[in-house]
Amino acid sequence: MPTTERLYYNDSHLIEFEARVIDVTERVSGWTAVVLDRTAFYPTGGGQPSDTGTLNGSRVVECIDDGERGVLHVVQGFAPARETIVAGRIDWARRLDHMQQHTGQHILSQAFVKLFNAPTKSFRVLESSCEIDIELNSPTTEIVERAVELANNVVWEDRAIAIHNVTAAEAAEMTLRKEPSREGELRLIEIEGFDLTPCGGTHAYRTGEVGMIAMRSWERAKGMTRVEFVAGTRALTDYRRANRSAREVAALFSCGRDDMAQHAAQLVEENKELRRQVRALEEVAAGVEAARLSVSAATLTDGTRVISDVLENRDAEFLKKVAHALIAHPHTIALLGVREKDAAKLVFARSADARGDMNVLMREACALLDGRGGGKPDMAQGGGKNVVKLEDAIDRAVALLGQS
Ligand SMILES: [Zn+2]
């Protein structure tokens, strides 16, 4: 069976073509795979996702490179019959986007080689950005930005991009950016006066078509430097999104977009200081609360003072502070609870000279709350979801103390 002639090899801007159907097979998904004698559809490969489009009006949702068999066009809906002539159409917006990312990658990868002798090891076009993994040993934002700047200059110089089909022997005489991954005749992509590399993908006619290249982020990954970038329309989309977020945050501060970082840093500092003040005030409040509760202490036959209560609108941390303030007094046991949103919390504590095992009491109380808890004989914490049983749980602990 003759393999598919790949029209995209010669013209990356060809979006309409006619071809003959040479094979039709059903896919497990229920869709149909159509093989043509020629195609302008680029199949998934080399880090670049496949084209989509239509064959005689039916959706082509994906194209797969099946090697010798050619390119499989996965068609959704009515599929053409074998030996018929079909009209194919590529989704241009998607093709242009992929060409911009892919050509942008050629340029950016060569910029890292030229400036830092750092070759690219892998490349991926993702949903809304792209990634390259580079052998760059000590990356900094400044270093990455220098490569991005060189790449953009090459874009704006609008250099011609040429395709050369050469033999392996001819290629061996040339300086290529990366080793060819296949044997035999090679397809070389030349960016005039800048880059020469073997590649089977779709590229812009001239570098200007890439528009611009912007770095989103970089990180160390698997011993290499991973650079996330966007090119062409993706760069504009990303700029719009970043600008919108920045302006929304700036509006919250009633400041200009570019003063936002300074205002945010100031707010974080103020917040830290406020937290410190709140903690200090909570200590005071816990002391006041402890003094109030202390008045209502029950006294057991052996003289132990038992303070039990449920506090409202407080959290478990505050409960602990109150308990600590209470057990600073001798012969004292504090059995405190608090209702948070969907959970009841308990803190049981006793002074060093009081009797009773808070750990045991806590386990018994938490069983009533359908929860769990525990700790040491002098201090235990716990809680559970059965919020309505909170008072019962504390009463249970008081009763157990009375029995012992
Ligand atoms: Zn390429």
Of the candidate ranges 38-42, 102-106, 400-404, the one whose mean pLDDT is the lowest: 400-404
Ligand 1: centre distance to CA 142 (Å): 26
**Portion of the chain with pLDDT greater than 70, in percent:** 99
Pairwise CA distance, residues 206 & 194, whole Å? 12
Report helix, strand or coil for 368. Answer: helix
Contact predicate 333/347, CB 8 Å: no
For residues 210-230, give the mean pLDDT: 96
Strands (E) across 259-331 are located at 298-299, 305-311
How does pLDDT run across 326-351, given as a tens digit for each residue?
Answer: 999 999 999 999 998 789 999 999 99
Confidence tier at 144 by pLDDT (50, 70, 90):
very high
Residue type, 245: S
**Position 145 pLDDT exceeds 90:** yes
Ligand 1: centre distance to CA 238 (Å): 23
**Position 82 pLDDT exceeds 90:** yes
Pairwise CA distance, residues 358 & 173, whole Å? 83
Q: In the predicted model, what is the mean pLDDT of the chain?
A: 93
How many helices (H) and strands (E) are present in the chain, helices listed first?
8, 21
Ligand 1: centre distance to CA 118 (Å): 18
How does pLDDT run across 234-284, given as a tens digit for each residue?
Answer: 999 999 999 999 999 999 999 999 999 999 999 999 999 999 999 999 999
Contact predicate 70/177, CB 8 Å: no
Ligand 1: centre distance to CA 150 (Å): 19
Pairwise CA distance, residues 46 & 270, whole Å? 50
Ligand 1: centre distance to CA 177 (Å): 12
**Position 321 pLDDT exceeds 80:** yes
- DSSP letter string, 200-245: -S---SBGGGG--EEEEEEEEETTEEEEEEEETHHHHHHHHHHHHH
Ligand 1: centre distance to CA 182 (Å): 14
For residue 313, the model assigns a pLDDT of 85
Confidence tier at 111 by pLDDT (50, 70, 90):
very high
Pairwise CA distance, residues 42 & 95, whole Å? 9
For residue 104, the model assigns a pLDDT of 98
Ligand 1: centre distance to CA 255 (Å): 44
Ligand 1: centre distance to CA 103 (Å): 6
Radius of gyration of the chain (CA): 35
Task: Scan for tokens 């071809």, then name that residue.
Answer: 19
How does pLDDT run across 383-393, given as a tens digit for each residue?
Answer: 999 999 999 99
For residue 227, the model assigns a pLDDT of 98
**Position 1 pLDDT exceeds 60:** no
Pairwise CA distance, residues 100 & 113, whole Å? 20
Q: CA of 372: how far to CAs of 280, 320, 368, in Å? A: 30, 17, 9
Token pair in block for residue 297: 């202490």
Classify burial at 403, counting beta carbons within 10 Å of its beta carbon; exposed 0-12, middle 13-18, buried 19 or more.
exposed
Pairwise CA distance, residues 240 & 224, whole Å? 30
Pairwise CA distance, residues 149 & 261, whole Å? 24
How far does CA 142 lie from the centroid of its chain?
Answer: 24
Residues 6 or more apart whose Cβ sits within 8 Å of residue 93: none
Confidence tier at 45 by pLDDT (50, 70, 90):
confident
**Position 14 pLDDT exceeds 90:** yes
For residues 61-69, give the mean pLDDT: 90
Ligand 1: centre distance to CA 143 (Å): 24
Ligand 1: centre distance to CA 99 (Å): 8
For residue 315, the model assigns a pLDDT of 87
Phi, psi angle pair for 224, to nearest 5°: -125, 180
For residue 2, the model assigns a pLDDT of 61
For residue 29, the model assigns a pLDDT of 78
Ligand 1: centre distance to CA 122 (Å): 12
Burial 196-220 (b: 16+ CB within 10 A, else e): bbbbbbbbbebbebbbbbbbbebee
Ligand 1: centre distance to CA 33 (Å): 26
Ligand 1: centre distance to CA 240 (Å): 27
Contact predicate 345/338, CB 8 Å: yes
For residues 8-18, give the mean pLDDT: 95
How does pLDDT run across 16-33, given as a tens digit for each residue?
Answer: 999 999 999 988 778 899
Ligand 1: centre distance to CA 211 (Å): 17
Phi, psi angle pair for 378, to nearest 5°: -100, -5
Token pair in block for residue 24: 């039709």
Token pair in block for residue 116: 């830092």
Ligand 1: centre distance to CA 8 (Å): 12
Long-range contacts of 154-157 (CB under 8 A, 24+ apart): 154/107, 154/111, 154/191, 154/194, 154/207, 155/104, 155/107, 155/207, 155/208, 155/210, 155/211, 155/212, 155/213, 156/208, 157/207
For residue 404, the model assigns a pLDDT of 67
Ligand 1: centre distance to CA 202 (Å): 6
Ligand 1: centre distance to CA 190 (Å): 10
How far does CA 188 lie from the centroid of its chain?
Answer: 35
Strand order in the sheet with 213-221: 120-125, 130-134, 224-231, 213-221
For residues 193-214, give the mean pLDDT: 96
Ligand 1: centre distance to CA 102 (Å): 6
Contact predicate 195/177, CB 8 Å: yes
